Amino acid sequence: MTIRAEHRSLREYLEVTCTPEQLNRPLLVSFTQWDFAVAAVAEITVTLHQMGHAPCVAFWSSQTPLRDVGWQSHHLIAGLLRSPTIDLRAKQALEAAGLEASTFIQPQPWSAPQSVLPRIEATYRSALRQLTYRGAPMGRGILQVPPNPDVPVTDEYSWPLRYVERAARSYAFAFDQTIAAIDRTNATSIFAYNGRFLHDSAVAAAAEQRGLPVLSYDTGGLDTDFDLTIDATHDWSALQDRMKQMLAAWPGEEAHNVGSEWFTDRRNHTEEANKHFTGAQKIGQGIDRSPQEVVVTYFSSSGDEIAELDLDWADFFNGQPGALLAVAQVCRQCDYRLVVRTHPHKRFKPQEDVREWHLAVDAAKPDLHLDEHSDIDSYTLMDQSDVVITYGSTTGVEAGFAGRPVIVMGPSAYDELGCAVRVRTEDELRRAVVEKTPPGPDSALPYGLMMKRRGFTYEYVQRLADGSRMLAGQTIDEPTPLVRHLSHGLNRRTRRSLMRD
């Protein structure tokens, strides 16, 4: 059965989004070895080729001074064990699909950055954020790839200098090589993964300096294969415009069924990705509350996911602790019961970040704090709440779907849909808490539809039963477990050495 996706075809999207001149000589730069991203490169490349354009592809995962966040396997180890890496398999599949060898370009010889790297005098977060290279925001790219999962978001923590220096050098490599590739191929557009991580952000910055459009590929919806967009990463308004357009173009009953399914699966704890968060919660278990009291519940958001967004934080209550304090003050003034639900992902976050958040909760003095280990069901808690407040967590749109009044105080991808009230001042917050405005009918539905059917389905790449992909009779999959095991062991050793200052 053919699944209806957001877009009917990649060809049609490219023709509508870009001019023929912009698509004439597209350059696809890939540092990742994640299977979905490599398959997206293959699908995009074949599509461009079939449209009569001349794509160039740079599979450069093995070239960077610091391994990319999506790196999986060492090319040398894979070669010695005769089990090709996934990007090499993709190259072979593209050749089998009719792409010439000249399609694939190698980086130029590179021993040092083209410009002097900035002097790194301090390695705490706010200092690193200011680092630039050739006018590009290098510091933000570095902060997207912490040296290990235990690095906290707090500005009190100093990153290992050797790691920062290697990351800076790797950013410079990606930027320099992209500029050189653009000039050498006379590229007219750039395709890169996500645009957020270290090397991808360097690619996007290089393209922007050359005045070229950047199209970012990423994961698709739960039912689709991949996404591609010309919109800037984290442009929440553009994303919500996509949601609205998608719903408007979809058959009504099917839109309702598909969009509702995303919310229902999460509420029933059956969506695989969400089980990571809800696994310790008991379906149907709520809090004790009296019918007379008004319950306001604050669901916390992920600090690490919003820390590096390029925003004016003064517009968002100066951060999540400030937002929570404002909520607590309003609840005390109104004699409402304040419940704080700490996101269960805190079970997996750096202890310093957990400690700082708990201190923020203690300062707010809620009537009840459900910490990250609580088995209270978030969805039952929504139903028990007279008002749900969030700093931008997905919980907000889910509560809106459930018909609860929702207030959002920070960056979100649903505050323009009509399912939540966006507030920017304490007066607006107080009014919204008192008024308890319910969401518009089906106003959250576009979000669920987007999460299920975002992006495209494959036309040329095929999904196999074992989860791998195939193109032109060639399988695009990972090398053997032994190659991956040895590769990750070597990478861990390298990273440990960079953690020692």
Q: What is the pLDDT of residues 324-361, one digit of tens each?
A: 999 999 999 999 999 999 998 888 888 888 899 999 99
- Quote the percentage of the chain above a pLDDT of 70: 97
282: pLDDT strictly greater than 80: yes
30-57 average pLDDT score: 97
Q: pTM of the prediction?
A: 0.94
314-320 long-range CB contacts below 8 Å, 24 or more apart?
315/424, 316/391, 316/409, 316/410, 316/411, 316/424, 317/409, 317/410, 320/360, 320/391, 320/410
Task: Give residue for tokens 């996007």.
Answer: 204
Look at residue 244 in the predicted model and tell me its pLDDT: 97
pLDDT tier at 433, thresholds 50, 70, 90: very high
232: pLDDT strictly greater than 90: no
Token pair of 475, please? 């399988």
d(CA 98, CA 95): 5
H helices of 338-480, in order, are 351-364, 378-384, 394-401, 426-435, 445-453
Look at residue 279 in the predicted model and tell me its pLDDT: 75
Look at residue 252 in the predicted model and tell me its pLDDT: 85
Domain residues of the chain, as ranges?
10-226+456-498, 242-451
CA dihedral 436, 441, 444, 445 (to 10 degrees): 170
Asked if 222 contacts 239 with a C-beta cutoff of 8 angstroms, the reply is no
443: pLDDT strictly greater than 70: yes
For residue 280, CA distances in Å to 44, 82, 348 come to 40, 43, 13
Find, among 462, 418, 293, the residue nearest to 367 by Cα: 293
Element (H, E) at 167: helix 161-185
404-414 average pLDDT score: 95
pLDDT per residue as tens digits for the range 378-402: 999 999 999 999 999 999 999 999 9
277-291 average pLDDT score: 90
261: pLDDT strictly greater than 90: yes
Question: Looking at the domain that runs over 242-451, which CATH code has it been given?
Answer: 3.40.50.2000
Look at residue 186 in the predicted model and tell me its pLDDT: 97
For residue 360, CA distances in Å to 124, 152, 300, 363, 446 come to 21, 15, 11, 5, 33
pLDDT per residue as tens digits for the range 142-198: 999 998 888 888 888 999 999 999 999 999 999 999 999 999 999 999 999 987 899
116: pLDDT strictly greater than 60: yes
Helix (H, G, I), strand (E, B) or coil at 487: helix
307: pLDDT strictly greater than 70: no
The number of residues in the chain equals 501
Find, among 45, 41, 35, the residue nearest to 193 by Cα: 41
